[in-house]
Amino acid sequence: MNMSLLYFIDMFGTAIFAISGVLLAGRLKMDPFGVIVLGSVTAIGGGTMRDMALGATPVFWITDTSYLWIIIVTCLLTIWLVRRPRRLPWYVLPVCDAIGLATFVGIGVEKSLMYQNSYLVAIIMGVLTGCGGGIIRDILGKQIPMVLRSEVYATACIIGGTFHITALALGYDNNTALLSGIISTLMIRLGAIKWHLSLPTFAIDR
């Protein structure tokens, strides 16, 4: 995959994840500072935890502050747009979120393999990159994180990461492996959105 295209999609995913943080902040009636904080941790929280776990210093958004500017502009625009009467179709944000999620997982796997050789760790880092920010967002919003509920979300990340490292193990080049991981994560997540798929829940009868 062309690196400039991947970078663009990465920025797009950052903006989409920031929007999801802003929307939750709005429902919780936070002040503008709280909105930006929640939008920021949602957008870059997963990648930050990944870099810290891998010892990748400085963290990615310190070396490239474009991520911070994208988050700030997105948060301010979202605050303004949500006050407008026009509403987007319900599926627009989930679909955009799925695109960002798939890209983040692929980037997480790739960056992990730059610092260590374990395929298992690479999959975990991919899932962390995709889901970490949402976990922080939900915890700050006093909600059970989406990845711990019945949503097919983290599962899509795990499968996508597995496709990615399997392609590498079979000898495919990095671009092909990355693309296979992104597409598989995206297709599974979009399928879950379209057909309202969910995982069985665990419950103990009292």
For 28-61, the three-class secondary structure string (H helix, E strand, C coil) is CCCCHHHHHHHHHHHHHHHHHHHHHHHCCCCCHH
Residue type, 197: L
Q: Is position 200 within any domain?
A: no
What's the pLDDT at 88?
67
Q: Is position 206 within any domain?
A: no
Nearest to 163 by CA among 112, 117, 122: 122
- Report phi then psi at 147, rounded to 5: -70, -15
Bridge partner list, 151: 198
86 burial level (CB within 10 Å; 0-12, 13-18, 19+):
exposed
Cis amide bond preceding 58, omega within 30: yes
What's the pLDDT at 6?
85
The pTM assigned to this predicted structure is 0.93
Q: What range does the domain containing 173 cover?
A: 3-195
Q: Is position 184 within any domain?
A: yes
Q: Is position 50 within any domain?
A: yes
Q: Is position 205 within any domain?
A: no
Residue type, 180: S
What's the pLDDT at 150?
76
Are 95 and 193 in contact, with CB atoms under 8 Å apart? Answer: yes
What's the pLDDT at 17?
94
> Helix (H, G, I), strand (E, B), or coil: what is residue 89?
coil
Angle at the Cα of 77 from the Cα atoms of 74 and 83, rounded to 5 degrees: 135
Bridge partner list, 198: 151
Look at the chain and report how many structural domains it folds into: 1
Nearest to 152 by CA among 111, 84, 98: 98
Please state, as a whole number, how many other Cβ atoms lie within 10 Å of the Cβ of residue 23. Answer: 18
Q: Is position 70 within any domain?
A: yes
Q: Is position 202 within any domain?
A: no
Q: Is position 60 within any domain?
A: yes
pLDDT in tens, the chain (206 residues): 667 888 998 999 999 999 999 989 988 999 999 999 999 999 999 999 999 999 999 999 999 999 999 999 999 999 988 876 567 688 888 888 899 999 999 999 999 999 999 999 999 999 999 999 999 999 999 888 888 887 899 999 999 999 999 999 999 999 999 999 999 999 999 999 999 898 887 777 76
- Distance (Å, rounded) from C-alpha 104 to C-alpha 110? 10
Residue type, 173: D
What's the pLDDT at 85?
58
> Helix (H, G, I), strand (E, B), or coil: what is residue 151?
strand
Query: What is the enclosing helix (H) or strand (E) of 171?
Result: none
